[in-house]
Amino acid sequence: MLSSANVERKGLGITKINLITKRSNENYVAMDEGLEAHWEVVQRILFLYAKLNPGQGYVQGMNEIVGPIYYIMASDPDLEYRKYAEADCFFCFTALMSEIRDFFIKTLDDSEGGIKFMMAKLANMLKEKDPEVYNKLKEQELHPQYYSFRWITLLLSQEFPLPDVVRIWDSVFSDEHRFEFLIRICCSMILIQRELILQNDFASNVKLLQNYPPIDINTVLSHAVSLNG
């Protein structure tokens, strides 16, 4: 059974799905003949996507996007639906990538849907909502790419435990202006840490934003909603 506890988040742009059950004596249980590990299914999904999209191919980080989708499909309580987890995941992953593909194409970094454009939107929103925090980060030369590149590109999938990532994605994908809401969530993450940011030095703020502290995700989402308008 795939559970959120089996999905390791290392903060390195890599999702490792640990699919082998450990015995109490730390030996590993061999899989029955003919069965596939979940990571093999995910690998095949990414391989097929890369083959069908040769202009883009596989870019590191796509595994972080497919991970939560596959987790949802492969852990469906309905066993009949679970049988089609691979096909359903591939369909949803392809649909999502059609919306965020510009994040993974370097030549489109400066386009309206590119990652540099999105990071600039975050910086501008922060400047508007809290000039003091914005100026503090600017004075420290703590540029948005030091932390928000990963936040935005991977849709925050590396910053929170998997159940919280699912909750974030549910809110983002149900919003009419989904990626505008993603930017508001990122801005809220900074503003919630306002007091620490203003008192921290450069190194402490880098650590704070690159290794976001545990928090009730509903607090972040509620704050993001309050930034609307």
- Give the pLDDT confidence score for residue 228 in this predicted structure: 81
pLDDT at 189 over 50: yes
Tokens representing 82 are: 């679970």
Residue-range domain boundaries for the chain: 4-103, 106-226
- Identify which of 126, 160, 165 has the alpha carbon closest to the alpha carbon of residue 142: 126
How far apart CA 97 and CA 103 sit, in angstroms, is: 9
- Specify the amino acid at residue 129: K
Which of 195 and 14 is assigned the larger pLDDT?
195
Q: What are the tens digits of pLDDT across the range 122-137?
A: 999 999 999 999 999 9
User: Given a cut of 50, is residue 7 above it in pLDDT?
Assistant: no
Asked if the model's pLDDT at residue 209 lies above 90, the reply is: yes
- Go through the chain and tell me how many residues it has: 229
> Could you give the CA distance from residue 144 to residue 27 in angstroms, rounded to a whole number?
44
The tokens describing 162, both together, are 């998997």
pLDDT grade for 24, boundaries at 50, 70 and 90: very low
Residue 26: per-residue pLDDT:
47
Q: What is the pTM of this model?
A: 0.84
Coil, helix or strand at residue 22: strand
How distant, in Å, are the alpha carbons of 22, 25, 56, 94 from that of 29? 7, 11, 38, 33
Q: Which of 16-20, 39-43, 64-68, 173-177 has the lowest mean pLDDT?
A: 16-20
pLDDT tens-digit map of 28-61: 566 666 678 899 999 999 999 999 999 889 999 9
The percentage of the chain sitting over the pLDDT mark of 90, rounded to a whole number, equals: 72
Q: Domain 106-226's class?
A: mainly alpha
At residue 2, the pLDDT reads: 54
38/42 Cα distance (integer angstroms): 6
Collect all residues with Cβ–Cβ distance below 8 Å to 101 and sequence separation of at least 6: 56
The pLDDT tens digits for 81-107 are 999 999 999 999 999 999 999 888 888
